[in-house]
Amino acid sequence: MRLLTNSKNPIRVARSFILLVSLIYLGACSSESDYSFSEGDRIAIVGNSLAERFQHDGWMETYLQAASPGKKLVFRNLGYSGDQVHYRPRAHEGFGDSDSHLSKVKANVIFSFFGYNESFDNQPETFKKQLSLWIDHLRTQKYDSVNVPKVVLFSPIAHENLGSPNLPDGSENNPRLQAYTQAMAEVAQEKGVVFVDLFNATQQMYQSIEEPLTINGIHLNEKGNQEVGKYIAETLMGGSVSNDQVALDAIRSTVKDKNLYWFHKYRAISGNDVWGTRSIQDGNYKTLQRELEMLDVMTANRDKKIWARANGDDIEIDDSNMPDPLMVGTHIVRDLTYIDPEEAIDRMTVPDDLEINLFAAEDEFPEIINPVALQVDTKGNIWVASWSTYPKWEPGREMSDRLAYLSDEDGDGKADKVTTFAYVPHPTGFEFWNGGVIVISAPDVWFLKDTDGDGVADFKERLFGGLGSDDSHHTANNLIYSPDGNIYYQRGIFILENIETPYRKSEESGSPGLYRFNPRTSDFSFMVENTPNAHGISIDRWGNPLITDGTTGKAFQVYYKRTVTSTTDTNEFDKRPLFKQTIRPITSNQILSSQHFPDKYENNFLIYNVIGFQGIKRYQLEYKEHGVVEGVEAGDLVFTGNDPTFRPSSEAQPRVVPEGYTGDPNFRPSDGVIGKDGALYFGDWHNAIITHSPYNLRDINRDQAHGRIYRMSAKNRPLQEPVAIYGEPVEKLLELFRSPVDGIRHSVRVELSGRETKEVIEKAQNYAKTLDPQSKEDALPMLEILWLHQQHNVKNNDLLKTVLRSPEEKARIAAQKVAWFWSDRDSHRRGGTTNDISGMQFRTFYEKFWVDADSSKVETKHEDMKGHANMAPAKKANESGKRKLELQKEPIAKLTIVAELLAFDVSEFSVNAGQQIELTVDNKDLMEHNIVIVEPGAADEIASLAIALGDDGPAKHYLPESPKIIAASKLLDGKTTETLTFKAPTKPGDYQFVCTFPGHGPVMRGIMRVLP
C-alpha cells in the first residue's frame, strides 16, 4: 500500500498520540510524495456527496492546479449523492453506466470517495470485497483508449461533533467510519494503490480549527472544503501548496465557473427528455444531446483559462467554437397573440362581490417572468420564483431564473419596486426559515440569507443534494414550513432521489408523493404516496396536510394513522380523499384565510388549474368527527372567458380555440398567497405551451417573456389591518398565535424560527401559563406553543399531556402526531425503490462488476445510451397493487383493465393461443387514454410511431399504421369505456399492451401472455 500522509501540515504534526498509533496500524507512513501527475492527466472524481460537493466550492481542484503549473490537468466531477462503490442507482438506464461516463471524460486517473453510505451496513469485510472487485474491474479498462487508469482511494471524512442538540454527535457513525477507513487501507495495500486517510485527518482538523467545518456533521461547508482540499493537495504533492490568496482566488473563480457548466452537463435537469422516456418525443434527443455537446465545449474552454491562471497568466474565454443549437419548430398553429394584462382582467369571470387588479406584469417587472411559486415574507413583500428559462436553461443564453420580491410602498395594491434576492436555476419551490430562504434548485436544496441588510442574498449554502431532477416539471415543488418544524414538498414520477443525512444510509426513493426534511436537524423522510405528478400542499390551522395531484386533479387529506394489535404497533401517515375531482391539472393549492374576504370564502380550499378550466376553483372545508376533513365544491373563484366548462382536458395535442371563445388561452394561474392586506395575490404563468408532452423542450413557442401577478380583493369591504411581525419582540409574536388568520400565525412561526431557541422556549412556556387548557378558544394558541417546541426541537411532555386533554378534538388529534414524533415509535419512512413503481421501469441498480462476472473483459469503448444489464427484480405485480390475471381456463377471456392515475391496473394477463378475448377498457381518468395490443417487444416502437403522427395524432387516435398492432381501442375521453373483441395470436409469446397517447407509453403498459 502507498499510504500518503502530510508531515508538513501543522495540523498533522499536532496529531495526538492516539491518532498516530491509528495511522501506524493502517500502514507505513511516508513524508515524501508517492504520487505525481503527468501532463494532460484527466482526473475523474467519483463517489458520494463528499465527492459531488467538491466541485461547488472548487478548493481541491484549485490547490491541485496551483501546484501543477504547466501540467494542463483536466478534472471532471462524477460524484453523485447516495452513491456506493457497488451501487449507483439512476432514474433511467439511458443516463449511462459509470464506465460510459469515465470513457466520455477519457479518465486516466480516478479519485474515489466512497465508504460513507456503505458504513451504515456495518460490514467492512463486504465493503473490502466490493472495493477490491471494483479495482479489479478498473484494471481491465482503458477509458482513454490507451492507459489503464491510476486509482487514488480517499477514505470517508469523520463525523464532526458540532455540539448541537439538534444533530448527532458522531459517536455512532465514527466507529463504523473508522472501521471502513481501515478496510479501505487494507484493500489499498493489497492492490498497491494510493490511499489517503481523510478520516483521521478531519478528526484532527475538527480539534485544531475553531470554526465548524461541516454544516451537519457529515457535509463539508466552504471552510471544510478548503481545509480538506488543501490537505489532499499537500498530501498528494508531497509538500505545502501556494498560499497566494490572490492567485488562488483567480484560479478558483474559473474552476467554479467551469464546474457550473460541467454540472449542467453531467447532471442535466429534465434528463427524462435528454436520455429518458421522453427523449424519443419530437426530436428531444437530438436537440438536447447537442446541448450537452455545447456544454462540453464550454467546460473545456474554461480548462484553458484555469491552466493559464495556474501559470500566472490569463486569457479571455472564447466560446465561439461551441456548436450551434439545433433549430426546432412548433406544433402550435393557433393565434399566439399575448394580450395586455389589463385586457386579460376584462376577460376574467369573478364573483360579483370580488374584483381583480393588476399587481405586477412583465412590461414593468421583467424579473417575474414565468412565476412558478409565490410566498409572502414577514415584512409583507410578495416573493416570486421566476423560472424564465423554463423548461431548462439553454447553453449560450443568460441564466435569468431568480427569486425576486415585490413591494407595494404606497399601499395602492400595485407593486412599486422589485428586488432580485438571488439568481437560482430552475427554482421550483421556496419557503422562509431562520431569517433566510430555502429554495429548490434540483438536485440541490439551498439556504440563502441576507446578512448585511441590503435586501440581497450574500450567504448561500447547499443544505443537501440528491433530489430527483430527471423531470423538471415533476421535481420537488410547493415547499411549506409545517407546524412540526419540517419543510414539506411533493414530487412526481420519473425521478429518483438519493439523499444523504447524518442518521442513516442514503434516502433512495422512486416514489411520487409527499416528503419532508427538517432544516434544523438535517433529517429526511418520505411520508405518503401521491401519484403520478404530485403538486400542491396546504396545511390547515390544525396541522392537516392537504395535498393534490397535478395530473389527475385529485386531492387528499394526509393524516396520522396508528394501528395497535396484541403484537404490533404500526404508526404511519396515510391519505383519504378530500373531494371528488372535476378538473385537471393542478399546479398548486391554497387555503384562503383572511379577515378581508366575506365569510363564505373563509377557510376555502383553492385549487389552481392551467388547462381546460384555466382558473381557481374553491371548496369549503368541513370538519367531521375523528379528524376527517372534507371539501365541498363552493364555486369558481376566477376563470378566463365566460364558459367554465372543463375543456380541453389536455394540451398534449395542439389546442384549437373555438369560434366565439372569449377567454385568454394563455392564462395559466400557477400559485397564490394572502398578502398583508388580506387580498389574494396569484401568479399567471402566461404561456402558450403548458406541457412537456409531446412538444420539444425547445419548441420555438415556449414563451420566456411573460408573467403576471394579479390581486383579488372584496368589494366594499375594509382591507385586513397589516400586522407587524418582522423584528417584533418574542412576547408580542406569541400573542399573535391567537389570530384567526392562518397566514399571520404561519409568519410568526417563520419569524420565530430565526430567534434564539432558549429565549423562544422560555417565553413560550411563560405564555402558555396564561392560557386556559379547558377553554376551546385557547386550544389553538396552546397547540401553537406545543408546535413551537417541535419547531425548535425541544420536548415538553407536560405541555403535550395538557394538549392531549384539550376540550377541542382537533387539537387532541394534532397532539397525537406530536406524541408520535416525540416517542420511541419510528416516524421515519423510506420511499419505494423497485422498478415496478410508475416511472421507474428503466431505473438502474448495481454496478455491473458486482453482478456480472464477465465485466472483467477489457473494454476501451463504451457506447452512449447503454445502461446496466443489472435490473433488480421488481415486485410481483400482485404485490404492487396491480392485478395479474390467469384467463386461459375460461371459454372466453373476459377482463376489464382500468386506466387511472396514469397507469393500468392490470400488469399481466394470460390467455391460450387463439382464445377469444373480450377486453373492456375503463378510463376513470380525466385525461385521454387508449390501449393497443402489439407484438412482443414492439411497445416502444409503436409508441414512437404514435408520437410521430404529430398534428394528425388525435384524429387517428394515436394509432399508427403497423402490422405489429394486434388490436386497439380508440382514444377514450375521461370517464368512458370501450370493449374490444378479438382472438389471441396463435403464436405463443409475451405480447404487450400500451397506451400510445404521447408521454403515457413509458408508464402505461403491460403483458398479454399467450400460452401454447
Could you tell me if residue 264 is inside a domain?
no
- By C-alpha distance, which of 432, 426, 339, 317 is closest to 382? 432
Q: What is the pLDDT of residue 178?
A: 98
Confidence of residue 10 (pLDDT cuts 50, 70, 90): very low
981: helix, coil or strand? strand
CA distance 682 to 614: 13
Same domain flag for 162 and 112: yes
Could you read off the pLDDT of 835-872 as tens digits, one per residue?
888 889 889 999 999 986 444 443 333 333 333 333 33
What angle do helix axes 173-191 and 198-208 make, rounded to 10 degrees?
140
Same domain flag for 707 and 585: yes
CA distance 94 to 284: 14
Q: Tell me the three cell numbers of residue 232.
A: 489532499
Residues 461 and 215 sit within 8 Å (Cβ to Cβ): yes
Is pLDDT of 22 > 90?
A: no
CA distance 814 to 819: 9
Could you tell me if residue 307 is inside a domain?
no
pLDDT > 90 fraction of the chain, expressed in percent and rounded: 84
142: helix, coil or strand? coil
Could you tell me which residues come within 8 angstroms of residue 729 by beta carbon, excluding any fewer than 6 positions away? none
Q: What is the pLDDT of residue 710?
A: 98
Could you read off the pLDDT of 356-384 as tens digits, one per residue?
999 999 999 999 999 999 999 999 999 99
Same domain flag for 676 and 750: no
Is pLDDT of 520 > 60?
A: yes
Could you tell me if residue 723 is inside a domain?
no
The Cβ of residue 693 has, within 10 Å, a number of other Cβ atoms equal to 18
Same domain flag for 635 and 702: yes
271: helix, coil or strand? helix
Is pLDDT of 875 > 70?
A: no
pLDDT > 70 fraction of the chain, expressed in percent and rounded: 93
Could you read off the pLDDT of 553-567 as tens digits, one per residue?
999 999 999 999 999
Confidence of residue 646 (pLDDT cuts 50, 70, 90): confident
Could you tell me if residue 277 is inside a domain?
no
Could you read off the pLDDT of 923-938 as tens digits, one per residue?
988 778 999 999 999 9
Same domain flag for 495 and 537: yes
Is pLDDT of 28 > 90?
A: no
Q: Tell me the three cell numbers of residue 960.
A: 399508427
pLDDT (average), residues 230-255: 95
CA distance 254 to 301: 10
Q: What CATH number corresponds to the domain at position 45?
A: 3.40.50.1110
Could you tell me if residue 883 is inside a domain?
yes
pLDDT (average), residues 810-835: 97
CA distance 808 to 776: 6
Confidence of residue 873 (pLDDT cuts 50, 70, 90): very low
Please give the DSSP secondary-structure letter assigned to residue 958. T
915: helix, coil or strand? coil
Q: Which domain holds residue 509?
A: 341-651+660-714
Q: Which residue would you say has higher pLDDT here, 860 or 766?
A: 766
Residue 582 Cα distances to 602, 690, 899, 948, angstroms: 21, 19, 17, 31
Q: Is the dihedral of CA 436, 511, 589, 360 positive or negative?
A: positive
What angle do helix axes 49-57 and 59-66 make, rounded to 10 degrees?
70
Confidence of residue 948 (pLDDT cuts 50, 70, 90): confident
Torsion of CA 763, 764, 765, 770, to 10 degrees: 100
Q: Tell me the three cell numbers of residue 592.
A: 384562503
Q: Which residue would you say has higher pLDDT here, 26 or 322?
A: 322
Same domain flag for 541 and 685: yes
Q: What CATH number corresponds to the domain at position 412?
A: 2.120.10.30
Pairing, β 444-449 against β 459-464: antiparallel
Q: What is the pLDDT of residue 31?
A: 33
Could you tell me if residue 355 is inside a domain?
yes
Tell me the average pLDDT of the chain: 92
Is pLDDT of 329 > 80?
A: yes
Rounded to two decimals, what is the model's pTM?
A: 0.90
Same domain flag for 667 and 790: no
For 632-697, the three-class secondary structure string (H helix, E strand, C coil) is EEEEEEEEECCCCCCCCCCCCCCCCCCCCCCCCCCCCEEEEEECCCCCEEEEECCCCCCCCCCCCC
Is pLDDT of 1 > 50?
A: yes
Q: Which residues pair with 562 in a beta bridge?
A: 571
Could you read off the pLDDT of 971-1004 as tens digits, one per residue?
998 889 999 999 999 999 999 999 998 878 888 9
Same domain flag for 881 and 756: no
Same domain flag for 577 and 676: yes
Residues 791 and 821 sit within 8 Å (Cβ to Cβ): no
Q: What CATH number corresponds to the domain at position 978?
A: 2.60.40.420
Could you tell me which residues come within 8 angstroms of residue 385 by beta carbon, excluding any fewer than 6 positions away? 371, 372, 373, 374, 402, 403, 424, 427, 428, 429, 430, 439
pLDDT (average), residues 62-77: 97
pLDDT (average), residues 250-269: 98
Is pLDDT of 18 > 60?
A: no
Could you read off the pLDDT of 406-457 as tens digits, one per residue?
999 999 999 999 999 999 999 999 999 999 999 999 999 999 999 999 999 9
Could you read off the pLDDT of 264-317 as tens digits, one per residue?
999 999 999 999 888 888 889 999 999 999 999 999 999 999 999 999 999 999
Same domain flag for 476 and 442: yes
Residues 836 and 875 sit within 8 Å (Cβ to Cβ): yes
CA distance 940 to 936: 10
Same domain flag for 102 and 189: yes
Could you tell me if residue 861 is inside a domain?
no
Residues 467 and 442 sit within 8 Å (Cβ to Cβ): yes
Residues 282 and 947 sit within 8 Å (Cβ to Cβ): yes
Q: What is the pLDDT of residue 34?
A: 61
CA distance 212 to 461: 14
Q: How many domains does the chain have?
A: 4
Could you tell me if residue 274 is inside a domain?
no
Same domain flag for 801 and 923: no
CA distance 761 to 45: 45
Confidence of residue 3 (pLDDT cuts 50, 70, 90): low
Q: Per mean pLDDT, which range of 394-403, 911-920, 970-979 is the poorest?
A: 970-979
- By C-alpha distance, which of 579, 572, 506, 520 is closest to 547? 579
pLDDT (average), residues 138-161: 98
Residues 116 and 218 sit within 8 Å (Cβ to Cβ): yes
Q: What is the pLDDT of residue 878?
A: 39
